[in-house]
Structure 1
């Protein structure tokens, strides 16, 4: 069975798998400390993309997509 067309997809180049993880990151040379950009990743690419961001000092957090999207989760707006 293929990926769900309504589900977010992995950010890895060429990957069409459903995203499971959110990698929150920022580039301190470009972004304010509180700014978070995100890459979505499947289980298979989580370690590779985390390492790519980590060696550059960009990776800030790794969160399950379901937790990121939940009310009060890391990706929810502060209220």
Structure 2
């Protein structure tokens, strides 16, 4: 893992990320594939709703508890 501080994925946000939003677009990704967005406290709900409305959101995990699958 990198020593760099994780930054929120919300447009224009430079806050430290504390959440990992794991998602998958079933039209272009295999079912087990997980893409990730990072979120600060302020943007977690907004980004989760954006992905959830499209049926993409699979999991929301605290950054310090996230275990990447390697895909």
TM-score where L is the length of structure 1: 0.81
* Bigger RCO of structures 1 and 2 (CA < 8 A, at least 6 apart): 2
Which aligned segments of 4 or more residues in structure 1 are displaced greater than 3 angstroms? Answer: none
Cα root mean square deviation, aligned: 1.0
Report Cα offsets for 1:18-62 as digits up to 9, x if no partner.
Answer: 000000001000000000000000000000000000000000000
Distance 1:63 1:34 in 2: 17
TM-score where L is the length of structure 2: 0.90
Give unmatched runs, 5+ long, in structure 2.
Answer: none
Size of the alignment, in residue pairs?
67
Distance 1:65 1:7 in 2: 11
Matches for 1:6-45 after TM superposition, within 5 Å: 6-45=4-43
The alignment partner of 2:52 has SS state of helix
Distance 1:19 1:49 in 2: 12
